[in-house]
């Protein structure tokens, strides 16, 4: 094989090199060409440079990152409190960060360096906050998504791109404040927080004042909302707009002459490239969308009941030491009842600060942690061969270097610290049988911007028999680690959502570890739950079916 320059074969070979798919004869031929032809060599280098810059300059892809470009790398100060999170998990999972690898490699050396050092050094590798999100998926009813793409999650951020709904209803709230209910089958392209394209489907849009000027396009129509509520029914050949409240401006087809405004109670229909026909607005076509709110609530109530039913069984598990559902109060106003029926060693937990909040379902109560004082304290006596910690949490932000989920006070032998690092890593620190020995078991970064504000199930299993620690997210293991220290393990005095460092009145910044977010369920078992049990635990509590 021989290559010439310029030629299609040269183009293909260079592309193959970039993608890792070039064959050996191609590579050999390219070698020969590049050594003998300086022009081809320079062109090759330019193409590769373009490719590698695309792969390494993440700010090319994000407006958010551009805003932060003046500070290209976060400073490596201990106790820095930047809300800096990695981008979406798939990237992180595929690309272990250099600093993580380093920390692993340097582990032996660092073990003398202590909890702080390793955590901090680990957490220095952080990307800038990046997001292309323009809207949020808030509610769904009986929804079926096109299986070709990963289904969006309720309360999850929606990035620019197309939503394909096969059936059911979904509510999308744009960051501009515009609220849209769509009914499948539908296709909706999210262009920005102020613009969407709907080639097909039925939708209802409400536009509050800050979102005035929101644009919605169909193949036939271009609608600019002037602060209203209107319905749209689009098929490839025909679009209808019905104004229920306020006013919209619309341009039909390409003809500027067809520009007009539509008042409350009016509707237009446009077929193909034809002229728009004026009609009276009809709510009939949109009945299911109007009913949406109600139906959505009904399906929530059903999930909530299912969860309560599952709990009645769970609370009989003899290995369940603590089960806080944040619904049943204890003997006083500031105590929480432990619902684990078979264990009376921990009758109650004590709330310090904290505010009531909405839980996974509208009727479900949760506890919100925000200030440095907010915490739930409990004391768990005993020694155990294994432990499982499980919690439903809605994280608002990772404000601290370490954000406590559940931590034993201080650093006593055999105890544990369960936390989320500010780069989205789940961590469990297990303290060894003697003072000063410990092991840190850290998952890859799994909490990202995209998952903030969503209810998530986090769990960690400490298995003394298998000498293993497993971190779980939403029922699935995200990492497994072998454990140096055998049982017994202890909990002792501990806190949910905060930490008592026992360090005196003015703790150093890195000793402040309060969580920013809500808990609506917490369970502690005196044994290691299996993968299957964890899946079930998650399935019973997940907010949407």
Partner 1 sequence: MSADSQHRFEDTTAAQQQFLSLFLRSEREVFRYVAALVPNVADAEDIVQQTALALWEKFESYDPALPFTPWACRFALNKARQWIERRQRWQALLDHGLAEELARRREELQPEFDRRLRHLEDCLGRLPNEQRSLVEGYYYQRTDIDSLAENSGRTVAATYKMLQRIRQTLQRCVEIRVQPEAS
Give, as ranges, the residues between 167 and 196 that touch partner 1 (CB under 8 A).
Answer: 189, 191
Q: Which two tokens stand for residue 447?
A: 């909490």
Q: Which is nearer to partner 1, 510 or 531 (CB)?
A: 510
Q: Of 205, 143, 132, whose CA–CA distance to 168 is shortest?
A: 143
Q: Which two tokens stand for residue 270?
A: 């446009």
Quote the least distance from Cβ 112 to partner 1, whole Å. 7
Which of 9, 64, 68, 117 is close enough to bind partner 1 by CB under 8 A?
A: 117
Q: Which is nearer to partner 1, 219 or 543 (CB)?
A: 219
Q: Which is nearer to partner 1, 298 or 508 (CB)?
A: 508
List b or e across 106-120, with b for residues whose CB sees 16 or more CB atoms inside 10 angstroms: eeeebeeeebeebbb
User: Quick one: which segment of 52-60, 283-291, 372-380, 468-476 binds partner 1 (CB under 8 A)?
Assistant: 52-60
**DSSP letters spanning 508-526:** -GGG----EEEEEEEEEES
Quote the least distance from Cβ 518 to partner 1, whole Å. 29
Which of 6, 71, 81, 96 is close enough to bind partner 1 by CB under 8 A?
A: 96
24 sits near partner 1 (criterion: CB under 8 A): yes
> By the 8 A CB rule, do 345 and 357 touch?
no
> By the 8 A CB rule, do 226 and 209 touch?
no
- How far, in Å, are 23, 189, 218, 252, 513 from residue 269 at the CA level? 56, 21, 12, 10, 58
User: Quick one: which segment of 16-24, 214-222, 248-256, 298-306 binds partner 1 (CB under 8 A)?
Assistant: 16-24
Q: What is the distance between the alpha carbons of residues 169 and 138, in angstroms, rounded to a whole number?
A: 11
User: Quick one: which segment of 58-66, 414-422, 480-488, 489-497 binds partner 1 (CB under 8 A)?
Assistant: 58-66
- How far, in Å, are 127, 230, 407 from residue 429 at the CA level? 24, 54, 9
> By the 8 A CB rule, do 191 and 226 touch?
no
Per-residue binding string, partner 1, 424-463, x by CB under 8 A, is: -----------xx---------------------------
Count, residues near partner 1 per rule CB under 8 A: 80
Q: Of 79, 82, 75, 153, whose CA–CA distance to 397 is shortest?
A: 82
Going through 284-398 in order, the beta strands assigned E by DSSP cover 320-324, 335-337, 348-352, 355-358, 365-369, 375-380, 386-397
Quote the least distance from Cβ 311 to partner 1, whole Å. 38
User: Quick one: which segment of 102-110, 180-188, 203-211, 350-358 binds partner 1 (CB under 8 A)?
Assistant: 102-110
- How far, in Å, are 64, 100, 193, 229, 333 from residue 210 at the CA level? 21, 43, 11, 14, 41
Per-residue binding string, partner 1, 475-514, x by CB under 8 A, is: ----------------------------xx---x------
Q: By CB under 8 A, what part of segment 304-333 binds partner 1?
A: none
Quote the least distance from Cβ 463 to partner 1, whole Å. 25
Q: Which is nearer to partner 1, 323 or 400 (CB)?
A: 400
15 sits near partner 1 (criterion: CB under 8 A): yes
124 sits near partner 1 (criterion: CB under 8 A): yes
51 sits near partner 1 (criterion: CB under 8 A): yes
102 sits near partner 1 (criterion: CB under 8 A): yes
């Amino acid at each position: 094989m021989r290559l010439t320059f310029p030629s299609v074969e040269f183009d293909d070979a260079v592309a193959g090199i970039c993608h890792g798919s070039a064959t050996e004869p191609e590579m050999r031929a390219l070698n020969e060409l590049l050594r003998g032809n300086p022009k081809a060599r320079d062109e090759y280098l330019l193409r590769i440079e373009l490719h590698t810059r695309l792969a390494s300059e993440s700010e090319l892809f994000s407006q958010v990152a551009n805003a932060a470009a003046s500070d290209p790398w976060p400073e490596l100060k201990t106790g820095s409190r930047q809300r800096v999170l990695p981008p979406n998990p798939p990237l992180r999972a595929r690309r272990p960060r250099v600093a993580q690898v380093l920390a692993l490699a340097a582990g032996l050396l660092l073990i003398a360096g202590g909890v702080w050092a390793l955590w901090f050094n680990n957490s220095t590798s952080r990307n800038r906050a990046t997001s292309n999100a323009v809207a949020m998926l808030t509610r769904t009813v009986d929804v079926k998504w096109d299986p070709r793409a990963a289904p969006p999650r309720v309360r999850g951020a929606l990035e620019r791109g197309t939503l394909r709904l096969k059936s059911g209803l979904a509510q999308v709230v744009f960051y501009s404040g515009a609220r849209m209910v769509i009914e499948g089958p539908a296709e909706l392209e999210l262009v920005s927080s102020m613009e969407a394209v709907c080639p097909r489907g039925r939708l209802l849009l409400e536009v509050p004042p800050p979102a005035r000027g929101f644009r919605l396009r169909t193949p036939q129509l271009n609608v600019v909302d002037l602060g209203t509520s209107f319905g749209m029914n689009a098929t490839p050949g025909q679009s209808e707009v019905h104004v229920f409240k306020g006013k919209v401006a619309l341009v039909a087809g390409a003809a500027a002459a067809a520009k007009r405004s539509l008042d409350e109670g009016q509707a237009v229909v446009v077929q193909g490239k034809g002229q728009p026909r004026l009609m009276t607005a009809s709510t009939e076509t949109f009945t299911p969308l109007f009913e949406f709110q109600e139906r959505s609530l009904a399906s929530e109530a059903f999930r909530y009941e299912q969860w309560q039913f599952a709990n009645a069984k769970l609370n009989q598990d003899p290995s369940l030491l603590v089960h806080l559902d944040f619904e049943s109060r204890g003997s006083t106003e500031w105590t929480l009842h432990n619902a684990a029926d078979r264990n009376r060693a921990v009758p109650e937990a004590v709330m310090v600060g904290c505010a009531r909040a909405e839980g996974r379902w509208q009727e479900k109560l949760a506890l919100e942690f925000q200030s440095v004082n907010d915490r739930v304290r409990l004391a768990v006596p005993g020694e155990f061969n294994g432990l499982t910690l499980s919690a439903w949490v809605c994280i608002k932000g990772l404000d601290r270097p370490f954000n406590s989920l559940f931590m034993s006070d201080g650093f006593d032998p055999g105890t544990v610290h369960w936390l989320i690092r500010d780069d989205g890593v789940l961590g469990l620190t297990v303290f060894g049988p003697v003072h000063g020995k410990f092991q840190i078991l850290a998952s890859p970064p799994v909490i990202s911007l995209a998952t903030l504000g969503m209810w998530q199930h986090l769990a960690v299993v400490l298995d003394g028999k298998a000498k293993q620690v497993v971190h779980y997210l939403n029922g699935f293991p995200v990492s497994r680690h072998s454990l140096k220290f055998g049982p017994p393990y202890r909990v002792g005095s501990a806190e949910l959502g905060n930490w008592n460092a026992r360090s005196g009145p003015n703790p150093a910044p890195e000793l402040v570890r309060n969580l920013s977010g809500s808990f609506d369920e917490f369970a502690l078992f005196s044994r290691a739950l299996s993968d299957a049990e964890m899946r079930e635990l998650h399935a019973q509590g997940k907010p949407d079916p």
